[in-house]
Chain A
């Protein structure tokens, strides 16, 4: 999957993985909020991209479809430090009209997330 232009602003790369694709965002001036920490908006952008990649992955297994974001809720658990951040999405339900997707971002250990998001998408099929 080709990532949209905003993913380039975040410096995202897709990391090979056995399961759902993992996105990596390097720490850089362009994604900083308060000095030394990631901007919450950049973390949210990373989570959104991870969700879209996961959903695209799931839809590719079916007949495909366009997605329209309805809403997102982001919980911020830890400050994002000066190191690479990874994120992966998980489609919790793929219906005919709506997809529910979760995404988690972490730095050191996947079970110590720095942020997590729940997203709802409308799916326009055919």
Chain B
């Protein structure tokens, strides 16, 4: 079961409308994986990845592959960057590191929370965690950097 989703319309207006973005832009790989908006704040965003048998990487145990988890965290941390910058900027992932703390439980929706903890003109520093029901018992931890491609370093 997912926690109730807070109504983003109750939040103060932002220069980056994450809800509209999440509704209209999740095509491509994120759309194929069924990733949806879950929640957000000024410098963080949460997305949901529903469990699906075709996303499995370990058929013996039914555990999700890491590709979908990385996709989820890449998107959640990107949204966190645009929330903190309060506008969309084109950016490229420089690197992303992920530690698998434990396997995701088969059947459970995974919630990915991305946070942008530092911005420079050119670089956005992010971190995040993924869990499958209990934020205190995460399945993965990530850290990464993005380069803002609209500015010269």
Contacts and interface: CB of A to CB of B under 8 A. Distances in A.
Contacts, number: 115
Interface in B47-77: 53-59, 64-68, 70-72, 74-75
A6 B32 CA distance: 11
Interface stretch (B5-13, B23-31, B119-127): B23-31
Nearest to A42: B29
Contacts of A79: 92
B66 A72 contact: yes
- Size category of the binding interface on chain B: 20 to 34
Interface string A55-87: 000000000000011111111100100000000
A29 B32 CA distance: 9
B67 A48 contact: yes
B57 A4 contact: yes
Contacts of B150: none
A41 B67 contact: yes
Contact of A70 (B71, B90, B92, B100): B100
For the side of the interface on A, what is the size category? 20 to 34
A45 B70 contact: yes
Nearest to B35: A41
A16 interface: no
Contacts of B96: 40, 44, 73-74, 76
A31 B29 contact: yes
Contacts of A6: 54-57, 64-65, 67-68
A46 B67 CA distance: 8
A72 B97 contact: yes
A9 B54 contact: yes
A33 B27 CA distance: 8
Interface of B: 27-30, 32-33, 53-59, 64-68, 70-72, 74-75, 90, 92-100, 103
Given A70-B100, A71-B100, 13 more contacts: A6-B54, A9-B54, A9-B55, A10-B67, A29-B27, A31-B32, A33-B30, A39-B29, A40-B96, A45-B66, A71-B97, A74-B97, A76-B94
